[in-house]
Protein backbone atom coordinates (compact mmCIF):
# COMPACT_ATOMS: atom_id res chain seq x y z
CA UNK A 1 0.00 0.00 0.00
CA UNK A 2 2.94 2.36 0.57
CA UNK A 3 3.52 2.53 -3.19
CA UNK A 4 -0.13 3.34 -3.94
CA UNK A 5 -0.81 6.62 -5.70
CA UNK A 6 -2.03 9.49 -3.56
CA UNK A 7 -4.63 11.99 -4.65
CA UNK A 8 -3.38 15.57 -4.27
CA UNK A 9 -5.76 18.51 -4.58
CA UNK A 10 -4.37 22.01 -5.06
CA UNK A 11 -7.04 24.43 -3.86
CA UNK A 12 -7.29 27.94 -5.21
CA UNK A 13 -7.18 29.87 -1.93
CA UNK A 14 -6.14 27.36 0.67
CA UNK A 15 -4.02 24.35 1.47
CA UNK A 16 -2.80 21.49 -0.68
CA UNK A 17 -4.85 18.42 0.28
CA UNK A 18 -3.13 15.03 0.21
CA UNK A 19 -5.45 12.03 0.50
CA UNK A 20 -4.04 9.09 2.43
CA UNK A 21 -1.02 8.65 4.70
CA UNK A 22 1.96 10.72 3.64
CA UNK A 23 5.65 11.26 4.49
CA UNK A 24 6.79 14.85 4.01
CA UNK A 25 10.44 15.81 3.62
CA UNK A 26 11.18 19.32 4.89
CA UNK A 27 13.86 21.60 3.36
CA UNK A 28 16.25 20.75 6.21
CA UNK A 29 15.85 17.02 5.57
CA UNK A 30 13.55 16.36 8.52
CA UNK A 31 10.78 13.91 7.71
CA UNK A 32 7.26 14.44 9.00
CA UNK A 33 4.65 11.66 8.85
CA UNK A 34 0.86 12.00 8.77
CA UNK A 35 -1.53 9.05 9.03
CA UNK A 36 -4.62 11.23 8.58
CA UNK A 37 -7.10 10.33 5.83
CA UNK A 38 -6.57 13.83 4.37
CA UNK A 39 -3.56 16.00 5.24
CA UNK A 40 -3.75 19.75 4.59
CA UNK A 41 -0.35 21.19 3.68
CA UNK A 42 0.21 24.92 3.94
CA UNK A 43 0.56 26.66 0.57
CA UNK A 44 0.67 30.30 1.78
CA UNK A 45 3.47 30.13 4.34
CA UNK A 46 1.46 31.79 7.12
CA UNK A 47 0.95 28.68 9.27
CA UNK A 48 2.60 28.34 12.67
CA UNK A 49 2.72 24.56 12.19
CA UNK A 50 4.70 23.96 9.00
CA UNK A 51 4.17 21.96 6.89
CA UNK A 52 0.56 21.65 8.03
CA UNK A 53 -2.18 24.20 7.36
CA UNK A 54 -3.66 25.91 10.43
CA UNK A 55 -6.13 28.03 8.36
CA UNK A 56 -4.03 31.22 8.69
CA UNK A 57 -4.81 31.91 5.00
CA UNK A 58 -8.40 32.65 6.01
CA UNK A 59 -7.28 35.65 8.06
CA UNK A 60 -5.51 37.10 4.99
CA UNK A 61 -8.69 36.76 2.89
CA UNK A 62 -10.86 38.35 5.60
CA UNK A 63 -8.39 41.22 6.08
CA UNK A 64 -8.47 41.93 2.33
CA UNK A 65 -12.28 41.89 2.33
CA UNK A 66 -12.39 44.38 5.24
CA UNK A 67 -10.04 46.75 3.39
CA UNK A 68 -12.35 46.65 0.35
CA UNK A 69 -15.38 47.39 2.56
CA UNK A 70 -13.61 50.40 4.09
CA UNK A 71 -12.96 51.93 0.66
Identify which has the larger pLDDT, 45 or 2: 45
How many CA atoms lie within 13 Å of 70's alpha carbon, on the beta-carbon side? Answer: 6
Name the DSSP class of 47.
-
Other CB atoms within 10 A of residue 53 CB: 22
Q: What is the spatial distance between Cα 15 and Cα 22, in angstroms, rounded to a whole number?
A: 15
- Look over the chain and give the mean of its residue pLDDT values, rounded to a whole number: 84
Identify which has the larger pLDDT, 68 or 1: 68
Judge whether 45 and 20 are in contact, CB under 8 Å.
Answer: no
**What average pLDDT does this structure show over 6-20?**
89
pLDDT of residue 15: 92
Question: In this structure, is the dihedral angle defined by the CA atoms of residues 34, 37, 41 and 47, taken in order, positive or negative?
Answer: negative
Q: Work out the pLDDT band at 45, boundaries 50, 70, 90.
A: confident
Amino acid sequence: MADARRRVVVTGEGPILVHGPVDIEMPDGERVHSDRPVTALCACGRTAHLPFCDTSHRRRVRDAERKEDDS
